[in-house]
Amino acid sequence: MSTQCLLTYIGLPPEMWIAHVFASIVPFTLILVFGLAHDPALALIAGSNCFLPAFCANFAKYVVYFRTEIIQPLGEDGKEVLGDPRYEFLPKFLQPLPIFSLTLFCILVLLCFIIAATTWTRAARSTTTPVPPHVALLTRPYEDHCKCMEVERLLRKMILKTLAAALPITAYPVLQLTFVGIIMLFPLCLYSHLLPYKTMEKGTLNWLNLTEIFLISAGIIIINLANLIIASNSHWATTTESQLLFFMLILSSAVLIGLALGLLIAGFLFVEMFLGNG
């Protein structure tokens, strides 16, 4: 919506597909400039990590706009009937082909997933010596048998971002939260089983793995609490007191986890900067 307002401000029609193109220009420009100035491979990896989830989500937004039935008022009697489908949000040359357009958008999103997974996996498995910067960015924190863990993280971000766009929280809150909770079970099991982060010293407790598992578990708990707030249970879940209780639990959990994570990061930075060479 903000991009469409910006289009209106600069004199362009606030159409969704123009906003999509406009929103994609800046990321592609940044990746291109960084690649030409420094390292193209590093620019591609870093740029896809930052911008590819949102790029896929922009395609998923079209799913929300597809309407097979339009309600239109008739006359003074106030009665409403189902009108004809309208696809003004599509480019003019695609408006006569709505099913083809929807299929095309789904294929483009699928291609983004396949290309991203293939590119990142190939980079993570690189055996080039010395290790290129983009390979170090993907593999440095992980054990040798878990070099492709960043691929899972990227795909998870892409899936969650696409899901949030296709099922907006304002229209489909239960569906979105339920699917997000199910998706988050996969990385929880994966990290619990593989323990992919390197240990600082052999025989010591790996706090990075435990922290990752704790954060994913906390996220799943918060998702379930949020689902309880919107649960349509007339006996207790819709009362003000119960909703306030769940809201305070969610808020306090998020604040405490954020503070703890910030202190943990600060501690690791302090150790690395001041005690790492000692």
- What are the domain boundaries of the chain? 1-68+83-166, 168-278
Tell me, what's the pLDDT at 69?
46
| Confidence band, pLDDT 50/70/90 cuts, at residue 266 | confident
Mean pLDDT of 94-106: 85
Q: Report which of 181, 184, 205, 187 is spatially closest to residue 146, judged by C-alpha positions.
A: 187
Tell me, what's the pLDDT at 16?
76
Mean pLDDT of 51-64: 89
Asked if residues 139 and 146 have their Cβ atoms less than 8 Å apart, the reply is no
DSSP 8-state class, residue 238: T
128: its two tokens: 């080039």
Question: Does residue 111 have a pLDDT over 90?
Answer: yes
Among the residue ranges 39-48, 96-105, 136-145, the one predicted with the least confidence is: 96-105
Neighbours of 60 (CB within 10 A): 19
Q: Average model confidence (pLDDT) for the chain?
A: 83
Mean pLDDT of 146-171: 93
Among the residue ranges 26-30, 265-269, 274-278, the one predicted with the least confidence is: 274-278
For the entire predicted model, the pTM comes to 0.82
Q: For the segment 195-246, what is each residue's pLDDT rounded down to a tens digit?
A: 999 876 655 557 889 889 999 999 999 998 888 777 655 555 566 777 788 8
Among the residue ranges 158-167, 183-192, 240-249, the one predicted with the least confidence is: 240-249
Mean pLDDT of 46-52: 94
Q: Report which of 80, 51, 84, 47 is spatially closest to residue 67, judged by C-alpha positions.
A: 84
- Cα–Cα distance between 191 and 258 in angstroms, integer? 20
Tell me, what's the pLDDT at 18?
79
Contacts of 62 (CB under 8 A, 6+ apart): 16, 89, 90, 101, 102, 105
At 131, the amino acid letter reads: V
| Confidence band, pLDDT 50/70/90 cuts, at residue 155 | very high
- Give me the count of residues in the chain: 278
- Cα–Cα distance between 45 and 58 in angstroms, integer? 20
